[in-house]
Amino acid sequence: MIQEITDLNFEEIIFNNSRPVVIDFWARWCGPCKSVTAAIEVIAKEYDGQVVIGKVDVDTNPKLTSKFGVRNMPTILYLKDGEVMGKHVGSTSKMVLEEKLKLIL
């Protein structure tokens, strides 16, 4: 299941959680974000219960976008224990996203 992460619920989702977190920073107007969304949705189903998958709309969550220095979309962050362990910027395949996820599991 993919969770919507916002400026308001970020800390609750990230710090009150023992599982790794993958955050997809995206925008409605971003073409490459749409192709990454399909891969993220599959990963969310396959790793349900093992990892938290979240999406941050950069247009409505400026604090988070700024906090993580996100300038290009899509940007995928991999967090463990609240710390960024990996990052991917730009369009990519499910295989690449999954390889990075496996490094933090």
Determine the structural domain holding residue 19 and report its residue range.
Answer: 2-104
Number of domain units in the chain: 1
Q: Which residues are catalytic?
A: 30, 33
Residue 64 has what pLDDT? 95
Cβ-proximal residues to 43 (8 Å cutoff; 6+ apart), any chain: 22, 53, 94, 97, 98, 101
| CATH number, domain containing residue 30 | 3.40.30.10
DSSP string, 54-70: EEEETTT-HHHHHHTT-
In this predicted structure, what is the pLDDT of residue 100? 95
Q: What is the pLDDT of residue 1?
A: 86
Tokens representing 102 are 């496996």
pLDDT in tens, the chain (105 residues): 899 999 999 999 888 888 999 999 999 999 999 999 999 999 999 999 999 999 999 999 999 999 999 999 999 999 998 899 999 999 999 999 999 999 999
